Chains A and B, each alone.
Chain A
């Protein structure tokens, strides 16, 4: 490794302003050779703006960057790649209907795609313990395997700095271990890694250095191993963290029962539900863990009532068989769902918050009892949501899509929670909201159980599930495991189940 300067990458006073917000405010830090450097911050802290500037997607308004001691100002991502930067995105840029090798070929510089690409893919993937079958269709791979495709694609370009954006949010704990081994190996070879995350334990375990961002500014630089998760969190939010706490609640009667539901998937690369059963009682929170794309979406469609079953007793809400009842009738029975996709599923992007309030609160809040929409009543309820859940909006007539992701999430959660459901089903309830708001949402869920509601939380965030659930089940490849009391499970044991029938070991075997 050439060592023309002490640092591989050096940022000095990097600033980027968007209308109304300074997304990056005089940011300076350095990444050493072979260093795994964490970029830590809440949503909206300016991590992605910073990374986009380093990767050439955005140009800074002020400040300079040095790479190997030389001025570095990439005009676009290909310039950044030419300088030896690689990036693994949080949302993969892969074609489902193409094979691994085809995807890689499409995604790298044409010079690199020449020659025996297949054997180089196999070589690189084996060397770094990221085994891949080049001829599999990407649509058939698990999320963890897809990430490997992205990483291998990145490694084929011999990068000197790899940027990884929230890489573990889609992995099982076991897959995370494999990834960390790879990253440590890369670092030992002198490749630097900029690791973006808000998962504190991971950063403590993996990263050599950390830069903490808040409101676009660098607020702290530290050595993560010397900090505790709590102290890192407090640096991140700039406040003392009060996590939501479960207190004993009275467990009441059964509110929701799902009985042996099997539903074939409607999409080509979807997952079929296999013999899913569950039972939740009043005052109880059931957590459903699992890696994305293992049937959560299909389970949600079934629970909402978007897909009906032939058997009426496949789902029983408050003692009433509801398998043949649609979403309206289920809401009337007390079941309020929060699907994962905010824009386009839980809310209509182009419609105002007023109209989005009508969308799901119509039945329980009697906003259109006679068919005529009661706008006064709707506004009243919406005001209640906005103040109760601290939704920041310029006005209630603005389109849902103009809200930030976190604010929209708060609005949607508030809309369902304030309908006082007897069964609440929430998918990724705190996805994209900051730590303070997440704690508020968790507390609202816990309060709901105190009033006797049954809650199902489907989440990929194990920490969240461990914090608020009474029992945890795991969904893997469309099958739901038997729930276990949260006191009897460990991250380890859940992780093993998350791998499901096609576990990490199995995925490693090329065929």
Chain B
């Protein structure tokens, strides 16, 4: 009926259209799902995708949720552009929170303009350190970074748990597994008075701007693109694959660590075992939905933040299952990957009688 033909050049139209198509298909599937669950689909959809946009407070919450997603997504996009699969941003996020949180506790009750930067730097370094492990393993032993970075997520979350049960536990906390509440000088300055939106959002915007400039104008961005698209051409050009692995892992780890420490010293205000809530994984969707482009990631981060807030709202208002948010996020990624085929291929009606060229065996040409 139809045949799939490779395009000579990727379709620019489709490049921008497929994220929108994916969002539309997700909403459509949501309709079907809600109907099957016996819920009013229109009301549920409006609660998730529209309601949060109608009040100042929920808009500020949107910014709170979007901040880590954008920060992490911007870093991950660098990795993915280079064909390096850092799946462990969640662990780097956690270690950022641990390192930054530990610094905040170390400086407990200390005042000074340098307190905040020290905490942030510690957070970024924590994320970088955690990202350095899969980078080292890949460069040194050719270990698959998808597996190593993912496994380290669980190590990081256990490490956080161990620390808040022991070393970093609040001495006056009646044995609850949590740290002290950070003192005011260690907390994120609030951006919009009366809300939880903090300056981390400004940092996320800065990260978007810097990664955009890097990819557009700097030779490092060029190296990342070449390495991702044609590794042999990268070697021909004299780019070191190992350096690119180091660079992308350290930058994405650093940004994820920053997101972690912002979260700990921002909305949460202390270290708790439940600090990692999946931003590092959702940011993978953000990166792809945003076409691995910094500006796209900004928009995708806001959209995914919307599904968090709207999903929570709908859960409470309509007693929807708690998995609703994950289902929506999963569908979004699924549809995006599925429709992505239109960027490089097109469907054409097959000519009536042509059979595909059936050369006896079609292995790789010699």
Interface residues of A (CB under 8 A from B): 56-57, 59, 75-78, 89, 91-96, 103, 106-108, 143, 146, 153, 304-306, 326-329, 331, 337, 339, 341, 344-351, 355, 358-360, 362-363, 368, 371-373, 398-399, 401-402
Which A residues lie within 8 Å of B230 (CB)? 344-345, 347-350
Across the interface, name the chain B residue whose C-beta is closest to A338. B236
Residues from chain B with a CB closer than 8 A to the CB of A345 are: 230, 232-233, 236
B251 to chain A, nearest CB (A): 15
A and B contact pairs by CB, cutoff 8 A, 28 listed: A56-B357, A76-B355, A91-B366, A107-B361, A108-B360, A153-B360, A304-B235, A304-B236, A306-B235, A327-B235, A327-B236, A327-B238, A344-B230, A345-B236, A348-B226, A348-B229, A350-B229, A351-B226, A355-B222, A358-B219, A359-B236, A359-B237, A362-B237, A372-B217, A373-B217, A373-B219, A398-B9, A402-B8
| Cα–Cα distance between A198 and B220 once the two chains are bound (Å) | 44
B55 at the interface (CB under 8 A from A): no
* Interface hits, B316-366 → A, CB 8 Å: 351, 353-366
Q: Is the CB–CB distance between A75 and B354 below 8 Å?
A: yes
- From A108, A346, A402, B233 is in contact (CB under 8 Å) with A346
Separation in Å of the B353 CB from the closest CB of chain A? 6
| Contact assessment for A76 and B226 in the assembled complex, using a CB-CB cutoff below 8 Å | no
Chain A residues with Cβ below 8 Å from B364 are: 95-96
Chain B residue at minimum C-beta to C-beta distance from A350: B229
Q: Which of B233, B238, B354 interacts with A347 by CB under 8 Å?
A: B233
Say yes or no: is B240 at the interface (Cβ < 8 Å to chain A).
Answer: yes
Quick check: is B218 within 8 A (CB to CB) of the other chain? yes
From B238, B363, B366, give the contact of A146 (CB < 8 A). Answer: B366
Main DSSP-derived SS at the B contact region: loop
Contacts of B225 in A (CB 8 A): 348, 351, 355
The residue among A331, A363, A371, A402 with the most chain B CB atoms within 10 A of its own CB is A371
Q: In the complex, what residues of A have CB within 8 A of residue B232's CB?
A: 341, 344-345
Q: Which residues of B does A touch, CB under 8 Å? A: 8-10, 217-220, 222, 225-226, 229-230, 232-233, 235-238, 240, 351, 353-366
Known: A348-B233, A399-B9. A77 touches B351 (CB 8 A): no
Contact status A59-B366, CB under 8 Å: no
- Residues of chain A lying within 8 A (CB to CB) of residue B9: 398-399, 401-402
In the complex, what's the smallest C-beta–C-beta distance from B8 to chain A, in angstroms?
5
> A346–B226 Cα gap in the complex (Å)?
11
Closest CB-CB distance, B195 to chain A, in whole Å?
A: 38
Question: Among A96, A305, A368, A373, which residue has its beta carbon within 8 angstroms of that of B238?
Answer: A305
Q: Which residues of B contact A306 (CB under 8 A)?
A: 235-236
Contact residues in B for A327 (Cβ distance below 8 Å): 235-238
Give Cα distance in the complex from A363 to B237, angstroms.
Answer: 10
Q: Which residue of A lies closest to B232 (CB)?
A: A345
Q: Does the CB pair B229–A326 fall under 8 Å?
A: no
Shortest distance from the beta carbon of B80 to any chain A beta carbon, whole Å: 15
Which residues of chain A are within 8 angstroms of B351 by Cβ–Cβ distance? Answer: 59
Whether A371 lies near B365 (C-beta < 8 A) is no
A371 touches B218 (CB 8 A): yes
How many A-B residue pairs have C-beta atoms within 8 angstroms? Tell me.
122
Complex: how many Å from CA A350 to CA B359?
A: 28
B361 close to A103 (CB less than 8 A):
yes
Which of B10, B229, B235, B363 interacts with A94 by CB under 8 Å?
B363
Q: Quick check: B233 and A359 within 8 Å, CB to CB?
A: yes
CA distance in complex: A300, B366 (Å): 19
**Which of A78, A92, A103, A362 interacts with B219 by CB under 8 Å?**
A362
Chain A residues with CB under 8 A of B219: 358, 362, 368, 371-373
Per CB-CB distance, the 8 closest pairs between chain A and chain B, nearest first, are A327-B238, A328-B238, A107-B360, A91-B365, A92-B366, A76-B355, A368-B219, A348-B230
Inter-chain CA distance A500–B196, complex, in Å, is: 76
What residues of A have a CB within 8 angstroms of the CB of B357 in the complex?
Answer: 56-57, 76-77
A7 to B240, CA, bound (A): 60
Which residues on B sit within 8 Å (CB–CB) of A153?
Answer: 360
Contact indicator A78/B358 (Cβ below 8 Å): yes
User: Once the chains bind, are A93 and B359 in contact (CB under 8 Å)?
Assistant: yes
B361 to chain A, nearest CB (A): 4
Name the A residues within 8 Å of B240 (CB-CB): 326
Beta-carbon contact of B363 and A93 below 8 Å: yes
A153–B220 Cα gap in the complex (Å)? 50
A358 touches B222 (CB 8 A): yes
Contacting B222 at CB < 8 Å: which of A92, A95, A341, A368? A368
* Measured CA separation A89–B364 after assembly (Å): 13
CB A468 to nearest CB in B, in angstroms, measures: 24
Cα distance A331–B218 in the bound complex, in angstroms? 20
CA distance A399 to B6 in the complex (A): 14
How far does the alpha carbon of A363 sit from the alpha carbon of B357 in the complex, in Å?
Answer: 45
Please name the residue on chain A nearest to B240 by beta carbon: A326
Interchain nearest-CB distance for A263 vs B (Å): 15
B235 partner residues in chain A, CB cutoff 8 A? 304, 306, 327
A340 vs chain B, min Cβ distance (A): 11
A396 CB, nearest partner CB in chain B, Å: 13
Report the minimum CB–CB distance from A153 to chain B (whole Å): 8
User: In chain B, what residue has the closest Cβ to A331?
Assistant: B238
Provide the bound-state CA to CA distance between A245 and B68, in Å. 66
Known: A77-B358, A401-B8. 12 other contacts (CB 8 A): A57-B357, A77-B357, A91-B366, A107-B361, A146-B366, A327-B236, A339-B236, A346-B233, A348-B225, A348-B229, A349-B229, A358-B222
Give the complex CA separation of A398 and B8 in angstroms.
Answer: 10
Please report the C-alpha to C-alpha distance between residue A341 and residue B232 in the assembled complex, in whole angstroms.
10
Asked if B353 and A75 make an inter-chain contact with CB atoms under 8 angstroms apart, the answer reads yes
Residues of B contacting A146 with CB < 8 Å? 366
CA distance A360 to B236 in the complex (A): 8
Q: How far is the CB of A457 from chain B (nearest CB, A)?
A: 18
Nearest B-chain residue to A345, judged by Cβ = B232
Residues of B within 8 A of A398 (CB): 9
Q: Is the CB of B220 within 8 A of A371?
A: yes
Q: Is the CB of B226 within 8 A of A93?
A: no
> A349–B225 Cα gap in the complex (Å)?
12
